[in-house]
Structure 1
Amino acid sequence: MAGRERRADAARALDRTKLLAARLKAAGAQPYLASALYSLTVVPSHDVPTMGVDRHWRCYVNPGFVDGTPVHELAAVWVHEVAHLLRDHHGRSALVAPEMRHDHHRVNIAQDCEINDDISSLPSNALRPAMFGLPDGQMFEQYLPGIPATPHHPECGSGAHGRSMPWEISDAARVSPVEAAAIRRQTADDMRNHARSRGRIPAGWRRWADEILEPTVDWRRALTGAVREAASWASGAVDYTYSRPSRRGAAVPRVVFPSLRRPMPRVAVVVDTSGSMGGDELRAVLGEVAGVLRAVGIGRNRVTVLACDADVHEVRRVNTVGDVVLAGGGGTDMRVGIDQALRAQERPHIIIVLTDGYTPWPDGRPGNVRVIAGVVGEGAEPPPSWIETVAIPLDQTSAHG
């Protein structure tokens, strides 16, 4: 009997009239989403469980799901799927800490929680923050630590969690990243105009539109850019070495020419473990720094981490910075950690300081070493101008802890 039902499902044709009527209903109820909804390309698929999207704005639809779902609920699912793309969930999922990112179902659940608290007509089994004892109105990165490992298995496709799924194809119409950015901005403009002329829009969409139209700098990308630029600068500091003679020496017998050496940058990470810094935030930011160093190709034994308050408590050369013991809890003086890093037998090319900023700083640049400060939270005096500073909002650290 079950095999017969599966064969019947596979033979079922997509009821496009019903599906497109649901999209029309969604666009009528939330006209500011119309441009985005009509940018989706419909792809019938018996392999997708319900509906899902890929990162190219193709919407995969199971015909059996359409047949068994009322139009008003289908309209809500349309809004749900396009929300994954508008909110750039696949791009944001790439920035999640690796230990969480590998469980794409867990990421998908957190993303559904971010979306669904703004949608009232979804099916009764739709995932919502309250199911996990979490409050409404947060971002999926904030929900993620509170989501157990894969208690359910939603599957919204690579347009949500970033992992390509078997039913996704490559030969259908696609929306380019440039076009997607234009759709997002147009949608945000439409939301703002709708709010001015007709009334309220859901809080989550209002916050999203504000971020699109008045963006804040993503500190992870800013930190990656700063480290990448510093690493490139350090790698350019070539020097001559006789440990590997130059191939030019073959032309001149009995004369040894040195070759040029391009060093792999050494990095010291000085972590503020004073009483004013929260341990959860520190571990979260350390996890992000680990990802940054991997992204720019600095690894193995090239990283030293120093835990420091008013003194240095822990110095460790590590393969990754994720398991560092954060000892300390007293006063704050990052000069001590920077000085300790500079006195190492192998002097670093780059020093990354993670602090809340309530610390004295060295009087000047420490020689031929780049210093990058990741300042967590607000309120402290900015570091000196010779330090490259990346602001790390406090409310964006706990989601990665």
Structure 2
Amino acid sequence: MPAEPAPPVSSAPAAPAPVLDRAKLLAARLRAASDRPYLASALYSLTVVPSPSVPTMGVDRYWRCYVNPAFVDAHPVAELAGVWIHEVAHLLRDHHGRADRLAHTDRQDHHRVNIAQDCEINDDLLSDRLSLPAGRVEPKDYQLPNGQLFEQYLPHIPAGTHHVNCGSGAHGRPMPWDLPAAGQVGEVEAAAIRRQTAQAIRSHTRSRGTVPAGWRRWADELLEPTVDWRTALTGAVREAAAWASGAADYTYHRPSRRGAALRGVILPSLRRPLPRVAIVVDTSGSMSDDALAAVLAEVGGVLRAVGVGNNRVSVLACDADVHATRRVSTVGEVVLAGGGGTDMRVGIEAALATAQRPNIVIVLTDGYTPWPEASLGQVRVIAGLVGEDAPVPPPWIESIAIPAALG
């Protein structure tokens, strides 16, 4: 087979690399900061790096914004201002940090991750009437609702539909145009920028009320983070279990080994009892079956994580009366019955009256119930309050807020 002919050698000089129109780019940033002053501090924290290798504009995790000069030439200032806000949103929302926590299989396709992240950002930007270049993605392109996080969008994004690339500061994968990390914004400074921006959003909302809902939610979550209820419940149960196990007592069922030194004397040994748990489940009409099943399954996982099992858990279904009591080792063995009024005092009293008195009582309820008037002494009570705006129980009961919709 003959060799393919070599391509002809061109005598024309190579075209000069495009020069970044820095004045136009910085005018766009000024417009973005002037129109959305609550983002100004974050916008001016970005360092501009001209790079023909980046497709459009993109950021790295060190708050550098890589800009293709040809992209700047091709778009008006209004659209570039929207892109500035889009790119800084990736960093403010810590998209690269969140992407690092995805499952390995999800991280492999960084284009899908980037699309999901753009959906999280662009619904806010478009509702705020920002101009964005053609070809941007938004949730409706995939028949998805607005207002979700990118982790919620990601499972519904098909592969190969778009090839957006906002840089390693978005999807987390290093890009060929990334510069070394030396001397740039680190995580401590980035956290300070995020907090300052969140405070500016809150102040702007109070004075003018013109901040998109997604930005307000982000600021509220950053300034007043919601503690994951599973972590809180695990910690409460673990602490209560350790407290119960620490209630050591003497027993003659296993004589002390020290008794061998004393002829004719039997010494008791110390016993550390394993904690017993009773779960009182509110089965009144205000609690949906789906909420009950979901919450009970989660609590079963919490108890297994803490090490409480082996038939040491009783579940009592209760509305204004106790309808079912069963000692269980799996959630599938639970019987839920009821549907009338609500009085969790009845369920707590029934739990304490069982043959093996529990050390810990977990009450799963929407909170619309009377409670015992005083502490139960050696029995710890933890209330899992399902749903929003649940009434708070007495201060001696440790309460954990549990969302009604679990995902």
Under TM normalisation by the shorter chain, which class is it? 0.5 to 0.7
Residue 238 of structure 1 is matched in structure 2 by 248
- Rounded to whole Å, the distance in 2 between the matches of 1:299 and 1:67 is 63
8 A contact 1:52–1:81 mirrored in 2: yes
Tell whether 2:365 aligns with 1:355.
Answer: yes
Q: 2:149 aligns with which of 115, 140, 143?
A: 140
- Rounded to whole Å, the distance in 2 between the matches of 1:291 and 1:39 is 44
Matches within 5 A, 1:210-229: 210=220, 212=222, 215=224, 218=227, 220=229, 222-229=232-239
**Letter in structure 2 aligned against 1:235:** S
Tell whether 2:151 aligns with 1:151.
Answer: no
Residue 199 of structure 2 is matched in structure 1 by 189
CA-to-aligned-CA distance 1:99-133 (integer Å, 9 cap, x gap): x9997799987765443311235566655343454
**Letter in structure 2 aligned against 1:397:** A
CA-to-aligned-CA distance 1:257-290 (integer Å, 9 cap, x gap): 6554444533333221221112343344445545
**Letter in structure 1 aligned against 2:194:** R
Residue 252 of structure 1 is matched in structure 2 by 261
Residue 125 of structure 2 is matched in structure 1 by 119
Tell whether 2:328 aligns with 1:317.
Answer: yes
- Rounded to whole Å, the distance in 1 between the matches of 2:121 and 2:41 is 18
Distance 1:52 1:386, change over 3 A: same
8 A contact 1:245–1:256 mirrored in 2: yes
**Letter in structure 2 aligned against 1:36:** A
CA-to-aligned-CA distance 1:225-262 (integer Å, 9 cap, x gap): 5434433422332334567776x739937677655444
Distance 1:184 1:360, change over 3 A: same
- Rounded to whole Å, the distance in 2 between the matches of 1:323 and 1:180 is 49
Deviation at 1:202, TM superposition (A): 2.1
- Secondary structure in 2 matching 1:119: helix
- Rounded to whole Å, the distance in 2 between the matches of 1:109 and 1:159 is 14
- Rounded to whole Å, the distance in 2 between the matches of 1:299 and 1:126 is 51
**Letter in structure 1 aligned against 2:261:** V
Residue 3 of structure 1 is matched in structure 2 by none
**Greater gyration radius:** 2
Using the size of structure 1 for normalisation, the TM-score is: 0.63
CA-to-aligned-CA distance 1:20-44 (integer Å, 9 cap, x gap): 9869845741443343356579999
- Rounded to whole Å, the distance in 2 between the matches of 1:304 and 1:169 is 59
- Secondary structure in 1 matching 2:368: coil
Tell whether 2:372 aligns with 1:386.
Answer: no
**Letter in structure 2 aligned against 1:311:** V
Identity %: 57
Tell whether 2:280 aligns with 1:270.
Answer: yes
**Letter in structure 2 aligned against 1:342:** L
- Rounded to whole Å, the distance in 1 between the matches of 2:278 and 2:30 is 53
8 A contact 1:311–1:333 mirrored in 2: no
Deviation at 1:356, TM superposition (A): 1.5
Deviation at 1:192, TM superposition (A): 4.2
Q: 2:39 aligns with which of 33, 38, 50?
A: 33
RMSD (Å), alpha carbons: 5.5
Distance 1:244 1:332, change over 3 A: same
Q: 1:397 aligns with which of 392, 401, 404?
A: 404
Which consecutive unaligned segments of at least 5 residues does structure 2 have?
Answer: 1-17
8 A contact 2:275–2:308 mirrored in 1: no
Deviation at 1:186, TM superposition (A): 0.9
Tell whether 2:306 aligns with 1:297.
Answer: yes
- Secondary structure in 1 matching 2:211: coil
8 A contact 1:286–1:322 mirrored in 2: no
- Rounded to whole Å, the distance in 2 between the matches of 1:350 and 1:38 is 53
**Letter in structure 1 aligned against 2:124:** D
CA-to-aligned-CA distance 1:196-235 (integer Å, 9 cap, x gap): 778833232134335555x376462654554344334223
- Rounded to whole Å, the distance in 1 between the matches of 2:361 and 2:228 is 17
8 A contact 1:41–1:58 mirrored in 2: no
**Letter in structure 2 aligned against 1:297:** V
8 A contact 1:268–1:352 mirrored in 2: yes
Residue 11 of structure 2 is matched in structure 1 by none
CA-to-aligned-CA distance 1:311-348 (integer Å, 9 cap, x gap): 334635245x5996654433323234323433445433
8 A contact 2:316–2:322 mirrored in 1: no
Deviation at 1:300, TM superposition (A): 4.2
- Rounded to whole Å, the distance in 1 between the matches of 2:113 and 2:332 is 20
Residue 4 of structure 1 is matched in structure 2 by none
Q: 2:382 aligns with which of 372, 377, 390?
A: 372
8 A contact 1:27–1:33 mirrored in 2: no
Residue 5 of structure 1 is matched in structure 2 by none
Size of the aligned set, in residue pairs, is 366
**Letter in structure 2 aligned against 1:350:** I
